């Protein structure tokens, strides 16, 4: 499973302050902690409070690149911010993310091609958040079709069904899980699937348990990647064990350690 | 319409293990044997690099062999009585690139040689011949835990391959191999889960995964060959998918297993329909070896020089296709 660490986000107080004060140590420590915990890539988000996101994202990327070679996921709803980050990124980038809106898709698919980036596509549009599986599939099909039309490799596309909080949209959970499986059959070769996990437990009081239960179920539905908190050891253990059950790793008594050695 | 060949692309690769250190590297071997390094399933050259050919290690013993068939023994004649003559014959007459010396004489029931005696034997052998060596155990754990560390020390800096470590007995050997700069054989009983676990246990002792060679335990043709084959194949697929804990090259004790088969050693007088045993045993060993090469074997420890020669030709033909 491809794990993107979610902790470098200006929304968190310590990170927000570090961005404002240009405190490299805080960011670099957070980056290394996530890598040591098993993150394959790191999400980079300046947060809503950033007044100069164009320069803040560049500072973040450069700061993180001083300590790790892991791929970085440039996380912004503004294509201009993502483009600014792409200009200073050294390794193969991940764009997080495009919606299914044509004007956004056009810009971000072109940028992804130009920078040989992987692209995360979330199944929402300016009309709002989908309410069921069919709406998700329809939006996913728009994203896939745009990629195909523009010769962007669909295997580098990660579709996100938009995970909603279980205490808000309980009736949609099954549709979200089933979308993960059905996204894979939209095209051949298949697009990949991803979730922003923590949203599922937003506002509830047993967050860690809800996160890891949802992740386990999503893995069973064929999930390829997740944006999550890798410092949650039980969550990571659940992800590794889920893949073991699906015969994606060879069992041995120390399989958790073996996975982390890879 | 032209057929499009579908090629697999793999992200992982098998570790490259180097056996034998030359003078420049602090040892005294004439050459180094490199094994592993594959980036594709066995001999699918269009799918990825197969940088090293499988190597044949001639098996010799520190004492005259006790259970070898008449046909097998006759291939070496009087040389079997003296391990140095035997070793020289393999290198000079049969062009062996590497030898596998089994310290059977250390076993309490086969001479009970002391650790010091075996260490001196290894030292003398290293002086007599200059090809890289594999050193293997007598089969008595308590004794091997004294003898093998002494031999590791006697060969310090020669970067040999020493075995075998097992799940319930690996610490002593791993520590010695680590201290004296050798590589280790990790043996598991036709069990991929234990093979993986043992690699982790050994690497937890700071011996890097790059210095482990897996002995998956094989059966000869007709005696479980296919079990070993599937385990090796599964392990290789996981390695190519990026699982470093099973990315070690394989050593297969082909001679030992093949010559245990009754088909290899039974005299023609006892089984006239099977034809002369002079040919049968050689065929049994060669066929077992070639099947295991297709499963991904990197080192084949062999006994009969004729079988080794046939398999050598097979390997040359196989590798030509990669050029």
ipTM: 0.83
Domains of chain A and any CATH numbers: 2-232 (3.20.20.20)
10 Å Cβ neighbour count for B323? 5
CA distances from A104 to A77, A111, A141, A143 (A): 10, 11, 15, 10
Q: Which residues of A touch B244 (CB under 8 A)?
A: 261-262
Mean of pLDDT values over A110-127: 97
**CB distance A257–B200 less than 8 Å?**
yes
Angstrom distance (rounded) from CA B11 to CA B139: 38
Please judge whether B197 and A250 are an interchain contact, meaning their C-beta atoms are less than 8 angstroms apart. Answer: no
Predicted pLDDT at B36: 98
Q: Which of A251, A257, A262 is opposite residue B193, by nearest beta carbon? A: A251
Q: Region B198-218: what's the mean pLDDT?
A: 97
Handedness of CA A128, A134, A136, A141 (dihedral sign): negative
Render pLDDT for A21-59 as a digit per residue (tens, 0 to 9).
Answer: 999 999 999 999 999 999 999 999 999 888 999 999 999
| B chain contacts of residue A262, beta-carbon cutoff 8 Å | 242-245
Where do we find the tokens 């470098």?
A8
pLDDT at A261: 73
B186 and chain A: CB distance < 8 Å anywhere?
no
Using pLDDT thresholds of 50, 70 and 90, give the confidence band for residue A262.
low
Give the integer Cα–Cα distance in Å for B186 and B141. Answer: 14
- CB contact under 8 Å between A258 and B242, yes or no, is no
Which residue, among B192, B196, B208, would best test binding to A if mutated, counting the most A CBs under 10 Å from its CB? B196
Name every chain B residue with its beta carbon within 8 A of the beta carbon of A257.
200
For residues A249 and A207, what is the distance between their CA atoms, to the nearest angstrom?
Answer: 27
Domains and CATH numbers, chain B: 50-318 (3.20.20.20)
Q: How confident is the model at residue B51 (pLDDT cuts 50, 70, 90)?
A: very high
* Alpha-carbon span B61 to B67, nearest angstrom: 12
Chain A residues whose CB is inside 8 A of the B201 CB are 254
* Model confidence pLDDT, tens digit, residues B304-317: 999 999 999 999 99
Touching A: B residues 245-264, CB under 8 Å: 245-246
Q: Rounded distance, CA A51 to CA B124, Å?
A: 76
Residues of A with CB under 8 A from a CB of B: 249-254, 257-258, 261-262
Q: Which residues of B109-143 are buried (b: 16+ CB within 10 A; e: fewer)?
A: ebeebebebbbebbeebbeebebbbbbbbbebeeb
| Pick from A69-73, B131-135, B206-210, B264-268: least confident | B264-268
Element (H, E) at A195: strand A192-196
State percent of chain B over pLDDT 70: 100
B147 pLDDT above the threshold of 90: yes
Chain B's closest residue to A250, CA to CA, is B193
Helix ranges (DSSP H) in chain A: 13-21, 24-36, 53-65, 79-86, 102-114, 133-149, 173-183, 207-220, 233-245, 255-261
Instruction: Say which of A250, A253, A257 has its CB closest to residue B246.
Output: A250
* pLDDT in the model for residue B4: 83
- 8 Å CB contact of B243 and A250: yes
Q: Which residue has the tokens 């890289």?
A: B132
Chain A residues within 8 A of B9 when measuring between CB atoms: none
| A252/B200 Cβ within 8 A | yes
| Gap from B192 CA to chain A (nearest CA, Å) | 8
* Cα–Cα distance for residue pair A105/A122, rounded to 1 Å: 11
pLDDT tens digit sequence for B243-285: 999 999 999 999 999 999 999 999 899 999 999 988 999 999 9
Measured in Å, how far apart are chain B's first and last C-alpha atoms?
A: 28
pLDDT of residue B6: 86
- Does the pLDDT of residue B290 top 70, yes or no? yes
Q: Using the predicted structure, report yes or no on whether residue B1 has a pLDDT greater than 80.
A: no
Q: Do B243 and A252 touch (CB under 8 A)?
A: no
Indicate the average pLDDT of chain B: 96
Asked if A254's CB is within 8 angstroms of B197's CB, the reply is: yes
Q: Which residue of A has its CA nearest to B242?
A: A262
From chain B, the residues in CB contact with A258 under 8 A are 196, 200, 243, 245
Which chain B residues touch A261 with a CB distance below 8 Å? 200, 203, 244-245
| CB-based contact, B8 to chain A, within 8 Å | no
């Amino acid at each position: 499973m491809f794990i993107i660490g979610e902790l470098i986000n200006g929304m968190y107080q310590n990170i927000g302050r570090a961005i404002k004060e240009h405190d490299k140590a805080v960011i670099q420590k957070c980056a290394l902690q996530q890598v040591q915990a098993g993150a394959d890539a790191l999400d980079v988000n300046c947060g809503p409070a950033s007044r100069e996101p164009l320069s803040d994202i560049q500072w973040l990327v450069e700061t993180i690149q001083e300590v790790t070679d892991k791929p970085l996921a440039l996380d912004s709803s503004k294509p201009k911010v993502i483009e600014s980050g792409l200009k200073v990124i050294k390794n193969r980038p991940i764009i997080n993310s495009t919606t299914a809106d044509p004007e956004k898709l056009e810009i971000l698919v072109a940028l992804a091609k130009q920078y040989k980036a992987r692209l995360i596509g979330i199944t929402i549009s300016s009309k709002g958040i989908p309410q069921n599986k069919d709406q998700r599939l329809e939006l996913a099909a728009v994203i896939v079709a745009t990629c195909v039309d523009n010769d962007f490799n669909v295997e580098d596309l990660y579709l996100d069904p938009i995970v909603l909080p279980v205490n808000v949209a309980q009736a949609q959970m099954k549709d979200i899980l089933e979308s993960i499986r059905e996204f894979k059959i939209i095209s051949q070769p298949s697009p990949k699937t991803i979730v922003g996990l923590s949203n599922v437990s937003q506002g509830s009081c047993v967050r860690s348990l809800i996160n890891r239960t949802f992740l386990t179920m999503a893995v069973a539905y064929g999930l390829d990647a997740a944006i999550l908190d890798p410092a949650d050891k039980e969550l990571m253990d659940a992800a590794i064990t889920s893949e073991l059950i699906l015969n994606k790793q060879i069992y041995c008594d120390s399989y958790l350690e073996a996975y982390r050695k890879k | 319409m032209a057929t499009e060949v579908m090629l697999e692309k793999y992200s992982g690769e098998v570790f490259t293990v180097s056996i034998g250190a030359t003078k420049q590297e602090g040892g005294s071997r004439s050459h180094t044997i490199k094994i592993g390094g594959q980036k594709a399933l066995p001999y699918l050259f269009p799918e990825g690099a197969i940088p090293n050919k499988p190597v044949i290690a001639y098996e010799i013993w520190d004492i005259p062999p006790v259970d070898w068939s008449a046909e097998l023994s006759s291939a070496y004649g009087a040389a079997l009585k003296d391990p140095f003559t035997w070793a020289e014959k393999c290198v000079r007459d049969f062009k062996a690139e590497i030898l596998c010396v089994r310290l059977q004489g250390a076993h309490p029931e086969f001479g009970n040689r002391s650790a010091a005696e075996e260490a001196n034997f290894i030292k003398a052998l290293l002086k007599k011949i200059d090809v890289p060596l594999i050193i293997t155990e007598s089969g008595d754990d308590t004794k091997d835990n004294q003898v093998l560390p002494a031999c590791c020390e006697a060969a310090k800096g020669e970067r040999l391959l020493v075995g075998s470590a097992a799940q319930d007995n690996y610490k002593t050997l791993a520590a010695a191999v680590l201290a004296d700069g050798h590589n280790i054989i990790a043996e598991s009983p036709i069990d991929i889960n234990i093979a993986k676990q043992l690699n982790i246990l050994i690497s937890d002792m700071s011996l890097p995964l790059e210095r482990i060679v897996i002995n998956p335990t094989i059966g000869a043709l007709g005696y479980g060959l296919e079990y070993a084959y599937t385990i090796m194949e599964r392990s290789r697929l996981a390695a190519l998918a990026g699982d470093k804990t099973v990315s070690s090259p394989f050593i297969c004790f082909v001679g030992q297993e093949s010559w245990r088969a009754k088909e290899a050693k039974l005299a023609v007088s006892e089984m006239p329909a099977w034809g002369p045993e002079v040919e049968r045993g050689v065929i049994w060993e060669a066929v077992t070896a070639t099947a295991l090469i297709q499963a991904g074997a990197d080192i084949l420890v062999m006994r009969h020089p004729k079988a080794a020669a046939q398999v050598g030709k097979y390997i040359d033909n196989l590798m030509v296709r990669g050029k």
